[in-house]
Amino acid sequence: MIKTDYIISKIEKYASLELAEPWDNSGWQVNLGHDFTNRVLVALSLTKDVLEQAITHDCDLIITHHPLIFNPLKKITNPLILEAIKNNICIYCAHTNLDKTYGSTTDALCGVLGLQNLVTVEDYIKIAHLKDELALEEVISNVKQALNLDAVKLINPSNVSIIRNIAVCAGGGAGFIDKLIDYDIDLYITGDIKFHKALEVDGFAVIDIGHFESELPVLPIIQGLISKTKVEVMIAKEEKPWVMV
């Protein structure tokens, strides 16, 4: 058992709320005023299944990456909020502040991919300069192996074959494609590239590894951060909301 405020202070020291975007809702989602916390569950998103895991494991605090609440509420009808309150579970999230801090979601992804010598650009994006150039096919194989993926989406209208500089953005990084033209990159690794954004790709290749897959590497970091407070913390078992058939 540890003071709840102490756990939250550890998170906010690591990823200050001042880094969060104005449109974001990082921070408390459901604060029941617990003085102490016994057990914490860490997840990317609060789903029915994640909440059931928290209840099963007798967790009284859930830390997510994605906010449960984005817009102001006039009344509480969301069954997840109601069920969390019913089971005396608090909910806190670290979203864009975690995406922008040192040791961010993208830093975590780069770590799993073995990318070093990172330079931060555009707040959310890291550029890695490879020591030795690699064939695109080798990079794709390395990415799939590192993230345990069967397949990735490749967008390569310029027929890039040799990779020297790689830009990375965990989560949905499609909005940065037009800005990356200003940087000397051969490859961009991110998630959530839709059809019309794919048509804008020019001068470099893009590997879409998926939003969910790109953010999973940050969860062990949050787990490790919270475990330093000597409270029991576990990572939720999460699945993508779709299957390929």
Q: Are residues 128 and 57 in the same domain?
A: no
In this structure, the answer to whether residues 84 and 113 fall within a common structural domain is no
| Together in a domain, 110 and 193 | yes
Q: Each residue of 136-148: pLDDT tens digit? A: 999 999 999 999 9
232 is a domain residue: no
Same-domain status, 51 and 23: yes
Residue 53, domain extent? 2-98
Q: Is the pTM of this model over 0.85?
A: yes
The structure tokens listed for 176 are: 């940065």
CA distance 77 to 167: 41
Q: For the domain that residue 164 is a member of, what is the CATH number?
A: 3.40.1390.30
Residues 117, 86, single domain; the answer is no
244 confidence band (pLDDT: 50, 70, 90): confident
Determine the Cα–Cα distance for residues 19 and 14; give it in Å rounded to an integer: 11
pLDDT tens, residue by residue, 94-142 = 999 999 999 999 999 999 999 999 999 999 999 999 999 999 999 999 9
- Using 50, 70 and 90 to split pLDDT, how confident is the model at 1? confident
The per-residue pLDDT for 205 is: 98
Question: Is the same domain home to 106 and 206?
Answer: yes
Given 75, 98, 121, the domain boundary residue is 98
Q: Are residues 28 and 62 in the same domain?
A: yes
